[in-house]
A and B are shown apart, each in its own frame.
Chain A
Amino acid sequence: DTAVSQTPKYLVTQMGNDKSIKCEQNLGHDTMYWYKQDSKKFLKIMFSYNNKELIINETVPNRFSPKSPDKAHLNLHINSLELGDSAVYFCASSHVRSGANVLTFGAGSRLTVL
């Protein structure tokens, strides 16, 4: 009964390919996110959606396109994969607790581009 589930957990692919990562949350949260954790271990926000509307769009190449068909789902599609896209991608959803924006993360999807 996972709160935030993302698939696949591991993805190995060749440069130039297109791939997607899917994310679903059953917490009833209105806001969902994609974060990237690169080799330097920083967790950086890429996108955020609130009730299917894009609210945060950080400086990310156009090859990355998020899609939110409903507020429980946020998918990430990546075109023309490059070596530098290799990272762990975390999906998250959030609620506010005493003013703090508390994120619940999925287990991550490790993308390796060869």
Chain B
Amino acid sequence: DQQVKQNSPSLSVQEGRISILNCDYTNSMFDYFLWYKKYPAEGPTFLISISSIKDKNEDGRFTVFLNKSAKHLSLHIVPSQPGDSAVYFCAAHSGAGSYQLTFGKGTKLSVIP
């Protein structure tokens, strides 16, 4: 039972364009959402998070949007760079500081020069 779903296993984008990575969740108790980036042979690294009291959070080229009614979030990367090519994981937990983080399966982003 996947509570966090990333339905696109892969995505290709031209350099300089916008990359949009999507994530859906089923557990309405989730109130914190995080995005991680993972390069091959490395561990995931934290990118950006958002709490359910917000609908947008921005950090440089990365923006996360949350649509609670649709139980959907997305990560926008603008402009996309070749170094952004990686696997992106969406994750969620319920309750501030909760240790039980649930991850999606990841989306592999390829940014084409």
Interface on chain A toward B: helix, strand, loop, or mixed SS? Answer: strand
Number of A-B contacts defined by CB within 8 Å? 66
Q: Which residue of chain B has its CB nearest to the CB of A33?
A: B99
Residue positions of A touching B, CB distance < 8 A: 4, 31, 33, 40-45, 48, 50, 55-56, 90, 92, 94, 96-108
A55, B103: Cα distance in complex, Å:
19
Q: In the assembled complex, how far is the CB of residue B50 from the closest CB belonging to chain A, in whole angstroms?
A: 8
Listed in ascending order, the chain B residues whose CB lies under 8 Å from chain A are 32-34, 36, 41-46, 49-51, 87, 89, 93, 96-101, 103, 105-106
Please give the distance in Å from B58's CB to the nearest CB on chain A. Answer: 14
User: In the bound complex, how far is the Cα of B97 from the Cα of A48, in angstroms?
Assistant: 13
> Within 8 Å CB of A108, what residues of B?
41-43
Q: What is the bound-complex CA distance between A40 and B33, given in angstroms?
A: 22
B90: shortest Cβ distance to chain A, in Å? 11
Instruction: Please tell me which one of the listed residues A48, A101, A102, A105 contacts residue B43 in the complex, with CB atoms under 8 A apart.
Output: A105
